[in-house]
Structure 1
Amino acid sequence: MMPGDSSMASLVQRIARQALVTFRNPPAVGDEASKSFLENHGKLRSLMSEVRAADLKLVPRRAEDGGAPPAQHPYHRGAPPVTYMHICETDQFSMGVFLLKSGASIPLHDHPGMHGVLKVMYGKVRISCFDRLERPAGGGGALPRAEMGALRRCVLRSTGEYTEESGPCVLSPDRDNLHQIDAVDGPTAFMDILAPPYDPDDGRDCHYYKVLPGEGVKDSEQTEKEVWLMEISQPPEFWCGGEPYPGPEVCL
């Protein structure tokens, strides 16, 4: 197969190429997306809707493989509650697979200035999505810098469950940008694209939050809830290990 031939390319290869095209010139934070970006993003979501565990050579884990409660601190012995399979990364995007043991969660966290597409490969996840209600002065640029213990006024946009038969969960810099992901009824895995990748040197570090119960919570007409989130350090029960990606090679 020639490098430019897509007729026999694996589905994961086609997804990576479409991600590269889609996120080569993404809209700036606060800007309206162009027609070209929306069309390419739609193609990417369509490809992600098709991908299944077999395309990545993933073998679904059994409940007994991931049923033990995770250790309470990353320095404790034992398997991590979450592992990551790296597929590929460019300046424009990163792509990989997260695997969660039974009962594991990826705590509430943000994606500063980033787009994302998440597709479940097996099992079931519950995803709770939040948005910040603050907007930077002037309507552009990055969101206010997070600080430990700082409070953020946010809105709970949605909570939904996703399986391999579900379409992708999509986030943008302005919508569903903070989320928590919980494994439901056993081990689960999902393919994840983030654009651009996390980069602390470029202001895209991952921050963790907790919801303050009863603090200024109210129901809106759309049944969305306004909440206060407080930035916290990475929860001690959560850490992420790594394991090899078994699927088709991706060349970009």
Structure 2
Amino acid sequence: MMPGDGTMTSIVQRVARQALVTFRSPPRVNDEAAKAFLENHSKLRSLMTEVRAADLKLVPRRADGSSAGVPSALPYHHGAPPVTYMHICETDQFSMGVFLLKSGASIPLHDHPGMHGMLKVMYGKVRISCFDRLERPAGGAQAAAHMGSVRRSVLRSTGEFTEESEPCVLSPDRDNLHQIDAVDGPTAFMDILAPPYDPDDGRDCHYYRVVPDAEVKNTDQAELKEKEVWLMEISQPPDFWCGGEPYPGPEVRL
């Protein structure tokens, strides 16, 4: 068999190569390349569906963060990051890695400006709530100025995902904001973002909270549709931070 034969290549390598092909030239509105992009995106999603923890040499962890022993009664040790990240690879077109959430941990509601994304659970269970901003704040420009960083948005979906689930997918204009919560213990998911976050290129991560209706002033609540909410931009929550740890799986070469 040749070295490039799919049977000799790790699933992680194949995912990375497909991500590179998919996001090398993402289409713009009414772009003729849109059909090819959708076909490549579908191939990437199918490959991501196949990936399992063993392919990344991940050992599911217990509630105390270890892979053996008796689970701790605490969700995670004081001072330890609630979330860690394993870097797999990154190009100008995309980044790929693994997020590991300790029991009880959450990645707060955040956005992905102008980015595509794909998330596949490796072990455990996550609950993902996806939101989108609505183009026009209620009341027009004057209301937008009055509300400041509060924007009318819509809750698109809330669902639970396990290793048997298909990937959760986001695009620049659909399901672009989401919150990810560990459910019933530790969890890990493989994550692709395209292009990667880059504050210098207008792709910084922003955090939000859902504003109760009682806090929203000068708004005709009768106009709000089902699942529409208000989101306020906030600073990174003090109880959330992300550490790093080595990636133990197969090397990826691009």
Name the amino acid aligned to 1:21.
V
Q: Which has the larger radius of gyration?
A: 2
Q: Are 1:196 and 2:198 an aligned pair?
A: no
Question: Quick one: distance in 1 between partners of 2:8 and 2:73?
Answer: 39
**Alpha-carbon contact 1:67-1:186 (below 8 Å) kept:** no
Query: Does the 8 Å contact 1:117/1:169 carry over to 2?
Result: yes
Q: Quick one: which amino acid aligns to residue 84 of structure 1?
A: Y
Deviation at 1:194, TM superposition (A): 0.1
Task: Determine the structure 2 residue equivalent to 1:104.
Answer: 105
Residue 210 of structure 2 is matched in structure 1 by: 211
Q: CA RMSD in A?
A: 2.2
Q: CA deviation at 1:31?
A: 5.1
Structure-2 residue corresponding to 1:240: 242
Partner of 1:45, secondary structure, is: helix
Deviation at 1:27, TM superposition (A): 2.1
Counterpart in 1 of 2:135?
Answer: 134
Deviation, structure 1 residue 153: 1.2
Structure 1, 3-12 or 102-111: larger mean CA deviation: 3-12
Give unmatched runs, 5+ long, in structure 2. Answer: 66-71, 137-147
Give the C-alpha shift of residue 16 in structure 1: 0.1
Q: Indicate the larger mover: 209-218 or 10-19.
A: 209-218
Counterpart for residue 228 of structure 2: 226
Secondary structure of 1:7's partner? helix
TM-score (norm 1): 0.86
Aligned counterparts, 1:144-163, within 5 A: 150-163=149-162
Give the number of aligned pairs. 231
Q: What is the CA distance between 1:230 and its match in structure 2?
A: 0.5
Determine helix, strand or coil for the equivalent of 1:186. Answer: coil
Say which structure is richer in helix: 2
Deviation at 1:69, TM superposition (A): 4.4
d(CA) in 1 for partners of 2:252, 2:64: 32
Contact 2:112 2:176 in 1 (8 A): yes
Match of 2:142 in 1: none
SS at match of 2:7: coil
- Alignment identity in percent? 83
Aligned ranges 1:24-63 → 2 under 5 Å: 24-28=24-28, 34-63=34-63
Structure-2 separation of matches of 1:19 and 1:31: 22
Structure 2 length-normalised TM = 0.85
Aligned residue number for residue 93 of structure 1: 94
Q: What is the SS of the residue equivalent to 1:63?
A: coil
Q: 1:68 aligns with which of 71, 74, 97?
A: 74
Long gaps (5+) in structure 1: 72-76, 136-148
- What amino acid maps onto 1:245 in structure 2? Y
What letter matches 2:252 in structure 1?
Answer: V
* TM-fit CA distance, 1:160: 0.2
- SS state at 2:231 partner: strand
Distance 2:116 2:161 in 1: 19
How many Å separate the matches in 2 of 1:99 and 1:31? 38
Q: 1:170 matched to which residue of 2?
A: 169
